[in-house]
Structure 1
Amino acid sequence: MPNGSLDKHIFSKTGKYLSFSWDKLFEIALATARGIEYLHGGCDVYILHFDIKPHNILLDQNLIPKFSDFGLAKFYPKENDFVSISATRGTIGYIAPELISRNFGTVSWKSDIYSFGMLLLEMVGGRKNSDMKAARSSKAYFLSWVYDQINISGDLELLDLTENEIMIARKLCLIGLWCIQVKPSNSPSITKVIEMLEGRTDDL
């Protein structure tokens, strides 16, 4: 794909954040969610990707996202509400808790929702979800830091943003946090995620 993978655009090594607008970032998030909706419901069988992360989201000439790397993907019939797997699948940092231990719940399409939530939070933060080199230990665990920032109406340390850009960042963070519930039964379906993305931030 001519514009490479999403991680090249959101994990900047030069200090320059984002190579496109926040509106475009939001469009990429929404299009990625619609792609997941197709995998989860647009085919004769569900397709679970199991490795949704910025590195596996490729951008074409119009910055329209495409999923790549289906090496860990698994099919299962629509009538099933869980899937049987013999080993943990995915990339550390994006793996849903139920893939590590069944004590958290059964493995299902909710596992992709968790990974998508991580993706949204990274898209906003412009950094990977675990940063062991963070200056403050409170920032090392990214999810906890984002939650605290949202809870106190913080600015997520995003500088020089317009009111619209702040609204986009807040919306993506709120939805991301909804997606990464510890218990998969508490996380939304991808259809609900799309509904939230298309709705008003005040309704979240």
Structure 2
Amino acid sequence: MVVLFFLFKRKYLFKFWKEDPEIHETLEAMLKNQEFLAPKRYTYSDVKKMTNSFKEKLGEGGFGGVYKGMLKDGRRVAVKILKEKKGNGEDFINEVASVGRTSHVNIVTLLGFCYQGSKRALIYEFMPNGSLEKFIFTENSLIQRQLGREMFFKIAVGVARGLEYLHQGCNTRILYFDIKPRIILLDKDFCPKISDFGLARLCPNRASIISMLGARGTA
């Protein structure tokens, strides 16, 4: 039985490396280079525990679902589960590598991630007021009046400051290609935070031109 166990384990690991060696090597190299800046790595079992087996769903996107969770220290989090076999893992690497480098009041904080075989997840700070989209595209006048013109202006300025930080304030410039109301999240004080860095690109600060292949962002 012991021999069979190790044979199975070896076969599983071989399959994992055979299917996805490039993303694994890229992720490990990125974590090594970032050192203390790297967000915490969790197992898929940890993710299931913190979400209570994905009990409360917050939303759904093309990438997969977002679930409400809680860390051991009591902090609430939003857990973004990426669909299996979704692309080649490029968006996952982009998000961990880019948002993991940031520290700004208008950028959502990436607290951790999970990369275990085909299981991928991103653990973010929880934003109790959800996305800006629901406050803009709604026929409910009470929701619209909840913010008001002055607050909308502050949110717009906050988003602009977040983008300025990404483009000019980081040691490594981060180009953001998909800004829209749905990815602007609001905390308890309606402070806006830019999220969803799957389409972002790292760019050397001195570079004035970056090559892009294919369409970016949302049609």
The answer to whether the superposition gives a TM-score over 0.5 is: no
Q: Which has the higher strand share?
A: 2
Question: TM-score if structure 2 supplies the norm length?
Answer: 0.40
TM-score (norm 1): 0.43
RCO higher in structure (CA 8 A, sep ≥6): 1
